[in-house]
Amino acid sequence: MGSPVTGFRKGSTSKVRCVDIAALVAAAVLRTNKDAVVMPFENKVVKCRLNSRDSVMTNAKQLASFWGGGTNCSAPLAELNRKRARGDLVIYVSDNQSWIDKRPHGQATATMKQWSTFKSRNPSAKMICIDIQPYGTSQAVERDDITHVGGFSDQVFRLMGSVAAGESSTDYWVNLIREVDVA
């Protein structure tokens, strides 16, 4: 999460890190959704106290300081399950390189196992996985209740709103492009 969003490219490496994007998204969600629970994680969930009345930049700065080198994508869901939490939308913003809970060949990831437990308690819940630097693997399988986003732009907020409103599908972007009139 400490790497530049653009990756390392001669002459065009961004100063904005993946953790900065994740922090801004989380702070923006908290600012507009006072009941949101923000759970920064690395090897485990990192405890933090945020105030939804603070500015997006104040909370983003605090959140960007919570990164330490590991990515355990199942940790937030495991914590929510431990607390028997209720919710209808889970948003991951990560580089999605979860080294800690790699799946054994042919088995579900720890993230998918935790999601299954969460869904049994919250059957209408949806999950959005924003993979800031998409690679060829993911910790969650895309399906009707799980939406994947590769990369980041301001359009991601539009997608999050659509998923939250129940308007999304696995073909969200394809359908959006089909609606564009090029005539």
Give the start-to-end residue ranges of the domains of the chain. Answer: 18-178
Distance from the Cα of residue 165 to its chain's centroid: 17
Q: Return the closest-CA partner of residue 125 out of 165, 87, 172.
A: 87
* Cα Rg of the chain (Å, integer): 16
pLDDT tens track for 55-72: 999 989 988 887 766 778
Q: Return the closest-CA partner of residue 60 out of 110, 88, 29, 26.
A: 26
pLDDT band at 135; cut points 50, 70, 90: confident
Output the pTM of the full model.
0.85
Task: Write out the E strands in the chain.
Answer: 89-94, 126-131, 146-150
pLDDT tens track for 9-18: 888 888 888 8
- pLDDT higher than 70, residue 104: no
Task: Convert 41-69 to b/e letters by CB count within 10 Å (16 or more is b).
Answer: bbeebeeeebeeeeebeebbebbbebbee
Structural contact between residues 79 and 120, judged by C-beta atoms closer than 8 angstroms: no
CB atoms within 10 A of CB 140: 26
Q: Please name the CATH architecture into which domain 18-178 falls.
A: 3-Layer(aba) Sandwich (3.40)
The pLDDT value given to residue 142: 82
- Counting residues of the chain whose pLDDT is more than 70, the rounded percentage is 88
